[in-house]
Amino acid sequence: MAIDRMQTSRFELKYLVSEDVALRIRDFVRGYLDLDEYSACQPNLSYPVHSLYLDSEDLLTYWETINGTKNRFKLRLRYYSLDANSPVFFEIKRRMNSCILKQRGGVRQSMPPQFSCDDFIHLPALAKKLLDPANPAGKFLLARLASETRSMLAVCGNGGQDAELRQRLAKDFNAVLAGPALIECPGFPAVKSRVVERFLKNDSNGVQSNERLNRILIEETFQGEISQWIENPVEFLLRGNYPRRDFLVSRTENTFVALQRFTEYLHAIRAAPRVHIAYEREAYVNENDSVRVTLDRNVRATPNTAFTPKMEMDDPQYSYRPMVILELKFTDRFPNWFRELVRVFNVMQRGAAKYVSSIQAVGTCPRYGIRAIGAITPVVLEESFNDVD
């Protein structure tokens, strides 16, 4: 998904309509909005949307929705593919009175083993180890650095050149990663057992194995001077660890703050993955993204208490079928033609909370039940009429 169309603040109105009415609404809306770029390239005008919702053991965010708590939030991961180049969005979706507020940060699904400038977290200590002739690992690596890098290491700490030194170290260390395995080289066997344990635990079917092994060896040898490589940032964050800027696809201050806040909420309610929800979305939008109309079909859910997103679903439980969820979204005033749409098609605003309905469908299903989502409290078969999905 190349473009992030998320609005940080907007109003959302929901309606349930039949498929026949949805098709007529499609024709009506096309007089005012264009298909968004993702719907436009689909033969059926709809693209798949997947979400992994987090909640506490006692389903706090579910019950706050059921009870109509005025200011509430939900935590979810939104994703469209499991391709390594496709981001997973960590989202906080809050309702403040009648307004919907969103914060999110797009996180990389995997991190390559190559070094970046940010990985060298303690330059003076690293320089000391690399320049120490009594340190065999440091001596071995120093001999493989460019002469300019060695010269800068010798004066490290004098100020003014740290940024350039980090760039040179990243380039030179990455050349070492791409070379022969370091496991039998001088100085590295001292950490061999720890390295092999980490390598075997996270080995991704031999993909980039030599570079992965060398990266782990260097990290274990220079602990405290080089940051740990997190191969799977999504799992790392879902387990409650704090974010790093290099996890982000777009390293803006707003996205990093959103990721930090997501982690704070996760800790505050001890949230963990509960349910995987998927549906097909047909979306229309105006030029500046201030008005948006979506038609969501085939809302379905399965338990997922793992720390990794999934695409496949085994025996999904459906909600709202055969109805279609119509959402009218706007950031400022309610457009006049929205009023006309509501009048022409005689639709009535109501709640259509995908998370609530999915928890109910899965939690009351004989095959699954609340234990399948790791919950300790039962769910009820009722709906909220003022929800944030």
Compute the distance between CA of residue 301 and CA of residue 110 in angstroms, rounded to an integer.
Answer: 25
Q: Which domain holds residue 332?
A: 9-110+247-373
Compute the distance between CA of residue 374 and CA of residue 376 in angstroms, rounded to an integer.
Answer: 7
Asked if 262 and 290 sit in the same domain, the reply is yes
- For the chain, how many structural domains are there in total? 2
- Identify whether 381 is part of a domain: no
Asked if 252 and 365 sit in the same domain, the reply is yes
Q: 374 with 305: CB under 8 angstroms?
A: yes
Please give the residue that has the higher pLDDT: either 134 or 383. Answer: 134
- Identify whether 378 is part of a domain: no
**pLDDT value of position 381:** 76
Percent of the chain scoring above 70 in pLDDT: 90
- Identify whether 242 is part of a domain: no
Residue with tokens 């950031």: 331
**pLDDT value of position 1:** 43
- Give per-residue pLDDT as tens, 227-248: 989 999 999 999 999 999 999 9
**pLDDT value of position 197:** 59
Residue 194 has pLDDT above 80, yes or no: no
Compute the distance between CA of residue 333 and CA of residue 10 in angstroms, rounded to an integer.
Answer: 10
In order of 80, 197, 310, 369, the CA distances from 302 in angstroms are 17, 33, 10, 11
Residue with tokens 């330059």: 123
- Identify whether 145 is part of a domain: yes
Packing angle of the helix pair 147-154, 162-177 (nearest 10 deg): 130
**pLDDT value of position 86:** 94
Query: Which has the minimum average pLDDT: 94-98, 112-116, 263-267, 302-306?
Result: 94-98
Asked if 209 and 162 sit in the same domain, the reply is yes
By DSSP bridging, strand 291-303 and strand 324-330 are antiparallel
Residue 263 has pLDDT above 80, yes or no: yes
Torsion of CA 107, 112, 113, 119, to 10 degrees: -40
Residue 2 has pLDDT above 60, yes or no: no
Arithmetic mean of pLDDT, 124-140: 92
Tell me the average pLDDT of the chain: 90
Compute the distance between CA of residue 23 and CA of residue 17 in angstroms, rounded to an integer.
Answer: 10
How many Cβ atoms from other residues are within 10 Å of residue 68's Cβ? 12
Asked if 198 and 343 sit in the same domain, the reply is no
What phi and psi, each to the nearest 5 degrees, are found at residue 46?
A: -130, 140
Q: Which residues pair with 103 in a beta bridge?
A: 92
Asked if 219 and 267 sit in the same domain, the reply is no
Q: Which residues pair with 89 in a beta bridge?
A: 78, 106
- Give per-residue pLDDT as tens, 92-103: 999 887 788 999
Instruction: Specify the amino acid at residue 87.
Output: P
Whichever domain contains 77, its CATH number is 3.20.100.30
